[in-house]
Amino acid sequence: MDLAELRRLRLRVQGLRGPFDASAPAVVRRFVAVQSQEFLPAQWGLATRMPAERRPDAASVAAALDAGEILRTHVLRPTWHFLHPDDARWVLEVSAERVYGASRTYLRRLGLEGETGTRAVELVAGSLEGGHRTRAELRAALDAGGLPITGLAYNYVLILAELERVAISGANAGKQRTYAAFDERVPPSAPRPREEALAELAARYIASRGPVTERDFAAWSGFTLGDARRAFADAADPAGANDGRIEWVDVEGTPHAFDAASVDALDGGPDASAGRDVVDLLQAYDEYIMGYAPPRSYLLPAGRSDPVRPEFPLHAIAVDGVMCGRWAPVVGASQARLRIVPWREFSRAEERALAASVAEIERFLGMPVEVEHEGIREG
């Protein structure tokens, strides 16, 4: 398999071609965890993976978040992710130790190790017993409890509360996001053995993003390469819960794993190669980008070999799965402005495809979008 075929299959498996998920929560459920560092753009990333006739607008995705059908918390690598309620507990349990490890230096510097951190989490838990709370309300609860914590330390108090399965995302209060009690939003489930949880995480990662390498999984999940290798082996075990559906393919000399059953199912759907010159307006942390380890050569245009890193404008323009520019939305109360920074000239067909993608963003936002084209900037 060459890089062109790898792109084609990944775009199809990810649902960016021939989308097949029925709802935004279903997208999150299939992906297990979806990076959501940029809140509104991350919701756009969910919408793009649904068929046009079912594609929700921003208000509909926000309603699913308010209802707790999609949750948002710090998990895996210490950054924001969307999770489905059915997966939140076990994914947090298996990854909390890794997130703690990545955060320990800051916790120590900020004085949140030991008794102070424990007391702060207890105060957060007590406040959430009364309902969903904004950040300001939780900070006031800390003040009232004799812990006036602000700034970066306050952010880490909330992360601690998430890792301890005390707090998770709540319903918006106007334009302010809130936290809710974890057990209110997440159904109970029995603890899983670490190896079993890692094997399921790997199996579902492979099914939603394959073909992938063990290194891709380690970079995405935050686990060690040794953990990734064991998880892939367990996911491919014919006697395991995944029924041995994992197969391997060589991509330019490197073994990649894919879920054979998922790929076979996709072959019965719309033709993944149909619709050349498709322009995707991908949010910067989209799973098509962040779901794999650097340097992400499948994403790079010819002649470029350096890793694709976030920069301003933050988000990525891709033509047929190859990055060819950046974009940035500025969303106002009744109108949005979309800044386009290409890395090269676009063909007429690509310009038409770009216009179609901008129209999809207009429908998603529910407001007119003014496009501001800038000159070509080399990537």
- Phi, psi (deg, nearest 5) at residue 177: -80, 155
Q: Sheet of 322-331: strands edge to edge? A: 279-282, 315-319, 322-331, 336-342, 369-373
Which two three-digit tokens encode residue 357?
């993608």
- Whether 115 and 155 have beta carbons less than 8 Å apart is answered as no
pLDDT score for 272: 46
Task: Parse the chain into domains and list their residue ranges.
Answer: 24-172, 192-267, 279-373
The residue assigned the tokens 């890089």 is 3
What CATH code would you report for 192-267? 1.10.10
* CA–CA separation, 282 and 326 (whole Å): 9
pLDDT score for 262: 82
- Nearest alpha carbon to residue 12 among 366, 268, 213: 268
Positive or negative, the CA dihedral 128, 131, 136, 142 is: negative
- Nearest alpha carbon to residue 90 among 6, 197, 166: 197
pLDDT score for 261: 85
CA dihedral (198, 199, 201, 205) in degrees, to 10, reads: 140
pLDDT score for 263: 83
**Rounded to whole angstroms, what are the CA distances from 183 to 125, 162, 166, 170?**
11, 11, 7, 12
Residues of the chain with pLDDT under 70: 239-244, 268-276, 305-311, 378-379
Per residue in 7-35, pLDDT tens?
Answer: 999 999 999 999 999 999 999 999 999 99
pLDDT score for 325: 93
Q: Sheet of 133-134: strands edge to edge? A: 133-134, 178-181, 167-169
Question: 133 has which bridge partners?
Answer: 179
The region that residue 286 occupies, defined by phi over 0 for left and psi between -120 and 50 for alpha, beta otherwise, is beta
Record the pTM. 0.94
- Nearest alpha carbon to residue 330 among 322, 321, 339: 339
